Amino acid sequence: MACIYSSISSFSLSSNSTFNPLRSNHKSKPTIYCAVGGAVAEPKSVSATEPLLLNAVKGKEVERPPVWLMRQAGRYMKSYQTLCEKYPSFRERSENVDLVVEISLQPWEVFRPDGVILFSDILTPLTGMNIPFDIIKGKGPVIFDPLKTASDVEKVREFVPEESVPYVGEALTILRKEVNNEAAVLGFVGAPFTLASYVVEGGSSKKFTKIKKLAFSEPKVLHALLQKFATSMAKYICYQADKGAQAVQIFDSWATELSPVDFEEFSLPYLKLIVDTVKQTHPTLPLILYASGSGGLLERLPLTGVDVISLDWTVDMADGRRRLGPDVAVQGNVDPGVLFGSKEFITNRINDTVRKAGKGKHILNLGHGIIVGTPEENVAHFFEVAKGLRY
């Protein structure tokens, strides 16, 4: 891969004047421009004691917002597409230590994000819970025996990660050594209601009629399932942290299909249970909560006790900050579709988001995962601009 050295100007976000990401301090910093998709990576430097992302979450003084992107390791990257040709099964790619590490590091080696997230899936624990599934190309997740009754729920085992997914722990340990504190290693899990939605619906859904029928006609059955998922995911988070994850994101992708009153019954208590359980043994582990389409539930999300709320792009960042209050950090929230725009357009949207987020306690990210087909050179530009920002 041919690379040439150049420099980019850092955007100044001076704390002594009006917050303005567009002001340049004209301090150039060395950058590598790589031939693959116009990607950008910084030269390797001595690792800091604490990654930028962790300092930002804790509210410490940082020079710029840390940046990583959901689904930064995946289908938009040519290197990933090439690997998929050799290993067509998603489960093989996500359950083989060497492949998990290689895929997780692909964006790190090219873009140098401030967060390196484990390549995996929220459904990975299901097999260890006695819920057979697969992820089929072109169709997505398929649960072979969807749960319907109390008897089905009784057969669900609580998750023991050391026994069921040792490859996750091994991969995280390797990633922590490879990244060497130059970025934060991130783990993730699915939230109880979202996991329950998949296993009751039998896969992805548009109307969520089966999970809602269960919730509204046999709530005790659903609560029993949610309890098992909450207990299991708390264990899974602790396991990931013990093996090297420095922060963990909880994905509650489908909780926003619930009305506020139903969210308070079927999602919020179990998210809070996870957070409370994890904090008993890992009090300083940052927990991030992402729920797409969460604008109608925003004020309820901090009640979970998480450290960071990840906003989707349908919420204005300034409004999100105001509604969430000063105690919780925020993540996001550029529309993933912006990455199909011009470089100037991408730059402007990054600056707008960072300006509205204000100084500190902000992780720059998208409002959802990177979309398949996103130009790799535009992802490179996103990181270049983001890493050139200065408060």
- pLDDT digits over 91-141, tens only? 999 999 999 999 999 999 999 999 999 999 999 999 999 999 999 988 899
Position 228 scores a pLDDT of 98
Position 352 scores a pLDDT of 98
Distance of CA 67 to the CA centre of its chain: 11
Cβ neighbours of residue 109 under 8 Å, at least 6 residues apart? 41
Residue type, 70: M
Three-state SS annotation for the chain: CCEEEEEEEEEECCCCCCCCCCEEEEEEEEEEEECHHHCEECCCCCCCCCCHHHHHHCCCCCCCCCECCCCCCCCCCHHHHHHHHHCCCHHHHHHCHHHHHHHHHHHHHHHCCCEEECCCCCCHHHHHHCCCEEEECCCEEEECCCCCCHHHHHCCCCCCHHHHCHHHHHHHHHHHHHHCCCCEEEEEEECHHHHHHHHHHCECCCCCHHHHHHHHHCHHHHHHHHHHHHHHHHHHHHHHHHHCCCEEEEECCCHHHCCHHHHHHHCHHHHHHHHHHHHHHCCCCCEEEECCCCHHHHHHHHHHCCCEEECCCCCCHHHHHHHHCCCCEEEEEECHHHHHCCHHHHHHHHHHHHHHHCCCCEEEEECCCCCCCCCHHHHHHHHHHHHHECC
Query: How big is the CA angle at 386 (ends 383 and 387), to the nearest 5 degrees?
Result: 85
User: For the sheet containing 40-41, what is the strand order?
Assistant: 3-12, 23-34, 40-41
Q: How far is residue 197's CA from residue 215's CA, in Å, rounded to a whole number?
A: 10
Position 28 scores a pLDDT of 38
Q: Which residues pair with 365 in a beta bridge?
A: 333
Cβ contact 350:364 at 8 Å: yes
Q: pTM of the entire structure?
A: 0.88
Please identify which residue in the block is written with the tokens 């097999």: 127
Q: Which residues pair with 184 in a beta bridge?
A: 115
Cβ contact 225:172 at 8 Å: no
Structure-block tokens of residue 4: 């040439």
Position 249 scores a pLDDT of 98
Region of 303 please: left (phi>0), alpha (psi -120 to 50) or beta.
Answer: alpha
Of 283, 159, 168, which is closest to residue 229 (Cα–Cα)?
A: 159
Position 227 scores a pLDDT of 98
Please identify which residue in the block is written with the tokens 């050391």: 162
Given a cut of 50, the residues of the chain with pLDDT beneath it are 1-46
Query: How big is the CA angle at 384 (ends 383 and 385), to the nearest 5 degrees?
Result: 90
Alpha carbon distances (Å) from 63 to 152, 266, 279, 377:
52, 40, 28, 25
Query: How big is the CA angle at 385 (ends 384 and 390), to the nearest 5 degrees?
Result: 115
Distance of CA 118 to the CA centre of its chain: 9
Q: How far is residue 10's CA from residue 13's CA, in Å, rounded to a whole number?
A: 9
Q: How far is residue 178's CA from residue 176's CA, in Å, rounded to a whole number?
A: 6
Cβ contact 119:245 at 8 Å: no
Structure-block tokens of residue 143: 């649960």
Cβ contact 126:133 at 8 Å: yes
- Label residue 273 exposed, middle or buried (CB < 10 Å: 0-12, 13-18, 19+): buried
- pLDDT digits over 325-363, tens only? 999 999 999 999 999 999 999 999 999 999 999 999 999
